[in-house]
Amino acid sequence: MVMDRQQADWQAHCQGLLQQIGCREATWLKDWRHQHLEQALALSFPNRRHEIWRYTDMTAWRSADLSLSLPLEALRAYQNTIHKETVLAQLLKMPSVYRAVFYNGHLQQTHTQDLPSQAIISNWTTLLQQNPELVQDICTRLQYKESAQLFKSLNYALMQDGLLIYLPKGVQLKQPIVMVSLHKVGEKSTAPTLSCNQHWIYLEEGAKAVVWQVSIGLDAQNNIAYYHNVATDIQLARGAQLTHYQLQSHTQQAQHLSMQRVELQRDSQLEQHSIALGGRLARQEDQIILQGEGAQACVSGLTVTMGCQQVDHDLNIQHIAPHTTSKTTCKAIAAQRSKSVFKGGIHICPHAHGTQAHLQNTNLLLDPTAEINTKPELNIENNDVQCSHGAVVGSVDQEAKHYLQSRGLSKQEAYRLLVNAFAKDRLQAIHHPSIYSVTEQMTLDKLTRIAELNLS
């Protein structure tokens, strides 16, 4: 009876959130939202009895008294914040980039000067006014290719804004596209807010782009949580190339859920680098589907947790076509009661002969009270493959630390050097200088805080 009452309260609350969006939308969009809300509410809420949620407690999403962030409030807050935040100033001053900045889920500014003809970088609320047929077509295609998943269906029902990146055939951008998503609880807020975004990245044949997706929480001292649900759909046509950098640095109270689906056609290439530093609970779900012969995916990840944090990475790579390649290298550092979870699954279909797939997950446990759960998986349905997978969990090498101390380094310096060295190769996989600089600074700042606490 308790569970039935909780489910009923959850359903009523979600229906109330949908009513907050307003009634000035086209009929097809209203119907689309209601359909996905009904789909979400028909699904059972995730619990630890489900294998993919075995290590993750999502009840905060059901029990929180959420309200949707409003566009006008976001605009006012952004205008009051823009000159006060060092990180924001650094991102806005990056030279030679296309830029889109969201604040609490709503677009605040874009910079798309000199964008090639027929290429699109625009938020979907603007597209609804200028080209509603395009948005309807995209939503319809998403609807029929996605399997039911509660939080993705909820995202579709409640999405407030998002970015469409479209590059026509043969267009190769020389400048990166920077998508900044900023989050901050209002000064007078007493309840948590929810923002839902949906991003679309579509590259036609031979197109090439670098995209940096950044999610940052701005008020680390505020004890009120905020919730962010973001879904990204990526399609790479024949021979397209996408380098996709991701940096997540939410506050210690934030709840962040990121769901990404990538489809790769013949000879297309994906290079993905994810750095996760923040959030009370941050979960990233990646589904990568190699549909065309010769498609390649290179996935790199680093998570750093401390205190009450938990960061999950659920990765699912499907090799459908022959002669496809995937290489995955993910690392995690966990300190002071925190929790890191990695589930990496590779599925090689019967017709995907000649596949090469390699997965490695390496983890550094800095405290006996921290927890790391890792589960690499291989599901192979044909024999003509080259595959490997492995996972390692260990602590700081004491012999190496003593050696460094014997060479004149202090205990603190030796410890910090070894921990930083563990993370360094994942950072060095970022090839763009400005993106590397910001990401390295934020990562090393957190590792410094961890070292100071561990050695105090």
Q: Taking a C-beta distance cutoff of 8 angstroms, is the pair 424, 415 a contact?
A: no
End-to-end CA distance of the chain: 48
- Alpha-carbon distance of 154 to 260, in angstroms, equals 15
In this prediction, residue 289 carries a pLDDT of: 97
Average pLDDT across each block of 10 residues of the chain; the chain has 456 residues. List them in order. 69 86 81 90 86 88 84 59 61 80 87 86 90 86 67 92 94 94 74 91 96 87 83 96 96 93 97 96 96 97 95 96 97 94 95 95 94 93 91 90 88 88 94 92 92 75
Torsion over CA: 138, 143, 147, 151 (sign): positive
In this prediction, residue 186 carries a pLDDT of: 65
Q: Taking a C-beta distance cutoff of 8 angstroms, is the pair 328, 290 a contact?
A: no
Radius of gyration of the chain (CA): 22
Residues 6 or more apart whose CB falls under 8 angstroms from that of 343 comprise: 52, 312, 313, 314, 315, 374, 375, 377
Considering only CA atoms, which of 129, 132, 116 is closest in space to residue 165?
Answer: 116
Residues listed for the chain = 456
Residues 6 or more apart whose CB falls under 8 angstroms from that of 51 comprise: none
In this prediction, residue 236 carries a pLDDT of: 97
Q: Taking a C-beta distance cutoff of 8 angstroms, is the pair 228, 251 a contact?
A: no
| pLDDT tens digits, one per residue of 281-303 | 999 999 999 999 999 999 999 99
| pLDDT tens digits, one per residue of 50-74 | 888 889 999 889 888 888 887 756 5
pTM comes to 0.93
Pairing of strands 163-167, 241-249: unpaired
Instruction: Tell me the C-alpha to C-alpha distance, in Å, between residue 387 and each of 61, 270, 328, 359, 360.
Output: 38, 19, 11, 8, 11
Residues 6 or more apart whose CB falls under 8 angstroms from that of 193 comprise: 66, 67, 68, 69, 104, 185, 186, 226, 227
- Alpha-carbon distance of 43 to 147, in angstroms, equals 12
Give residue 307's region: left, alpha or beta (phi > 0; psi -120 to 50).
left
In this prediction, residue 46 carries a pLDDT of: 86
Burial 109-148 (b: 16+ CB within 10 A, else e): eebeeebeeebbbbbbeebbeeeeebbeebbeebeeebee
User: For every residue of 302-316, which 3-state class applies, written as one string?
Assistant: EEEECCCCEEEEEEE
In this prediction, residue 81 carries a pLDDT of: 58
The residue range of the domain holding 404 is 2-455
Q: Taking a C-beta distance cutoff of 8 angstroms, is the pair 270, 237 a contact?
A: no
Considering only CA atoms, which of 312, 326, 302, 330 is closest in space to residue 378?
Answer: 326
In this prediction, residue 260 carries a pLDDT of: 96
Give the containing element (helix H, strand E) for 132: helix 132-145
- When divided into structural domains, the chain yields a total of 1
In this prediction, residue 363 carries a pLDDT of: 96
Pairing of strands 98-103, 106-111: antiparallel
- Per-residue DSSP letters for 99-122? EEEEETTEEEEEE-TTPPTT-EEE
- Alpha-carbon distance of 309 to 338, in angstroms, equals 5
DSSP character for 172? B
**What distance lies between CA 234 and its chain's CA centroid?**
13
Tracing tokens 């294998």 back to the chain, one arrives at: 51
